[in-house]
Amino acid sequence: MISENCGVADSIRLPLDEFARGRQDAAAKDLGVRQAAISKALRVGRTIFVTRHADGSCSAFEERPFPSQRVGGAA
């Protein structure tokens, strides 16, 4: 069952692309980021999952290999 509050089912981890499909602005607001951050994460293929908490808030986490390779930026 999809919740209007956050767009994900209780107790189901949803990939960012599915969570934000057709609603990048709302997804960004739910996660406290700008729409451009959602768009870029999707464009570069980051492995991000969204979870809805019992209080209705949403959080996201990125799954990355360890150790991960640093991309761009100074050493």
pLDDT tens track for 4-53 = 555 544 557 899 999 999 999 999 999 999 999 999 999 999 999 999 88
Burial of 40 (0-12, 13-18, 19+ CB in 10 A): exposed
User: CATH 3.30.240.10: does it fit domain 14-62?
Assistant: yes
Q: What is the pLDDT of residue 43?
A: 98
Beta bridge partners of 59: 51
What mean pLDDT do residues 59-64 have?
A: 94
The string over 21-33, giving b where at least 16 C-beta atoms fall within 10 Å of a residue's C-beta and e elsewhere, is eeebeebbebbee
Give domain limits for the chain: 14-62
What's the pLDDT band for 55 if we cut at 50, 70, 90?
Answer: confident
- pTM summary value: 0.72
Q: What is the pLDDT of residue 13?
A: 82
